[in-house]
Amino acid sequence: MSDNEFRLEKQKLLVEYILSDESIFQRCRNILKPIYFDKELQETIGYILKYSDEYSSLPTIKQIKVETDLELELNTSIKISDKDWTLKEIERFCQRGAIIQAVLSAPDHIDNGDYGTVEDLVKKAVIVGLQKDLGTAYFEDPRGRLERMKLKNLVPTGFHMIDKKLYGGINRGELTIFTGSSGAGKSLFLQNICLNWVEGASYIEYLSQEEERHEPLDVVYITLELSEELTSKRLDTMITGIDAREIFRKIDEVELKVRMKGKACGNLRIKYISAGSTVNDLKAYLMEYQAQKNKLPDALAVDYLDLLHPINRRINVSDLFVKDKFVTEELRALATELDILCVTAAQLNRTAIDESEQSQAMIAGGLSKIQTADNVISIYASPAMKERGEYQCKFLKTRSSSGVDSKVYLGFDGISLRIYNLDEDYYNKDDETSSNKPSTTAEILQKAKRTPTTGITQTPEKEEIVEEKEELPPAETPTERLKRLQQSGKM
């Protein structure tokens, strides 16, 4: 494995320098592999690594001579410049060896159709190097550290109560999963969040407690279920507020509103990818996006996680725990590698149907999805809640906050399909004493016992009840509530 740059004599010199200074060996220990070296040195490198692991020190020259029949010379007066040169050359040499090994093993994987493994091997080979990053100096500049984190990573969803539970929003490089039973509205949540991001998600500033807006983001929405056309039509309704049944009849109005909205928004790209695709297919698309747009998108939404397959085709997809573990880890790794926001959806199993108290045990497929994800939020709406235009969101997992098992409530307009923030004083679900909270069965029975029958009720009491009913305002529909919030500037 020698060439003009790293011929046998140079490799031997590097080995001698490594043996001459234990600090050099300790710094490059993790990247040294016998296979990288010439055949004449492979046995010696293997012996040095084995000896150091067993005795926590380097073997002597005599020991190496006896065990491997190789004569080496020590340099007892290595200068700092020699150390720097040795470390730099060892790093380059090991990276070269790793790339060669990846290329040599590629044909077998290609013959088996295992292209993902080839990419993974080459990717790991390219990043082979010495550890130079010492990490974060915790006590140095805490303000700067927190401000950089806030500006770079944390992005609000636009749903104030969700952002509050997540301490401000979702971090770049993390994976957030919305779960729900079939038809619960998982896609609606993903689409609403995407629109919030491209419009510039509103959020409550922590110190001033005033509503502000994040800058508009560029978002890619990957659909593995609905077509691009149907997804776009649903977004037309959300943008314009026009009922889906009226979209084609009011096509001129739709065009005008969508074009006007687009002038103040980030870029939203919708792409259909067939079910059974892998994270490598998503990455290939994002690389093409970067090539054409000269930048990566800020956020990626995948609708939905259960329809993706692992990169490694040898994994049995019928083993849902293993399959979901690999897919979730690969999707999260993609978000981390590209430093983008990532949201997706996952199914709950049939035990979650009509069950308001959802838990991690109800996740369909492998529980490994929850173990890997950073945030897992279940969505639920009973028939009564749908009638009132409400959604319940329960936090099944939060990695960076204390919101686990807490619930928040959002409004929903069935005509525009928009999910929105409720007034703080409208429906405080967390307040157990709230008069608006739905009555339990026991409370209903108790009220029935206190309510007098018609034969016993006296006339003044009847008149008093009638007067109270006349003072009640007419019920506000979800659509009217949404319009009122938009006019007041709270949307």
In a domain, 426, yes or no: no
In a domain, 140, yes or no: no
**Which tops the pLDDT comparison, 169 or 153?**
169
Mean pLDDT of 147-159: 78
Whether 174 and 258 share a structural domain: yes
Q: Pick from 126, 141, 172: which residue ends a domain?
A: 126
Give the pLDDT confidence of 281-314 residue by residue, as tens digits: 999 899 999 989 999 999 999 998 989 999 887 8
Count Cβ atoms within 10 A of the Cβ of residue 180 and give its class: 0-12 exposed, 13-18 middle, 19 or more buried: buried
pLDDT computed for residue 316 by the predictor? 85
pLDDT computed for residue 469 by the predictor? 45
Range of the domain at 464: 448-487
Neighbours of 206 (CB within 10 A): 10
Does position 146 have pLDDT exceeding 90, yes or no? no
Cα distances (Å, whole numbers) of residue 62 to 23, 69, 70, 296:
20, 9, 9, 56
pLDDT computed for residue 401 by the predictor? 85
Question: pLDDT above 90 covers what percent of the chain?
Answer: 42
pLDDT computed for residue 142 by the predictor? 86
In a domain, 141, yes or no: no
| Cβ–Cβ under 8 Å, residues 37 and 11 | yes
Give the pLDDT confidence of 327-359 residue by residue, as tens digits: 999 999 999 999 999 999 998 877 666 666 777
Whether 317 and 385 share a structural domain: yes
pLDDT computed for residue 387 by the predictor? 85
In a domain, 24, yes or no: yes
Quote the pTM value: 0.67
Whether 112 and 223 share a structural domain: no
In a domain, 198, yes or no: yes
- Computed over every residue of the chain, the mean pLDDT equals 82
In a domain, 3, yes or no: no
pLDDT computed for residue 488 by the predictor? 63
Instruction: Find residue 213's DSSP bridge partners.
Output: 202
* CA–CA dist 268, 229 (Å, integer): 14
Whether 345 and 397 share a structural domain: yes
Whether 177 and 308 share a structural domain: yes
Does position 205 have pLDDT exceeding 60, yes or no? yes
Whether 385 and 288 share a structural domain: yes
Count Cβ atoms within 10 A of the Cβ of residue 160 and give its class: 0-12 exposed, 13-18 middle, 19 or more buried: buried
* Number of helical H runs and strand E runs in the chain: 18, 13
Whether 48 and 185 share a structural domain: no
Lowest average pLDDT, out of 140-154, 246-260, 414-428, 472-486, goes to 472-486
Whether 284 and 371 share a structural domain: yes
For the chain, give the number of residues. Answer: 491
Whether 454 and 403 share a structural domain: no
Query: Mind spelling out the 3-state secondary structure of 359-416?
Result: CHHHECCCCHHHHHCCEEEEEECCHHHHHHCEEEEEEEEECCCCCCCCEEEEEECCCC
Whether 282 and 408 share a structural domain: yes
Whether 195 and 342 share a structural domain: yes
Whether 184 and 255 share a structural domain: yes
| Cβ–Cβ under 8 Å, residues 75 and 274 | no
Mean pLDDT of 396-410: 88
In a domain, 216, yes or no: yes
In a domain, 428, yes or no: no
pLDDT computed for residue 143 by the predictor? 84
CATH of the domain at 317: 3.40.50.300
CATH of the domain at 79: 1.10.860
Number of domains into which the chain is organized: 3
What are the respective helix, strand and coil percentages of the chain, to the nearest 5?
Answer: 50, 15, 40
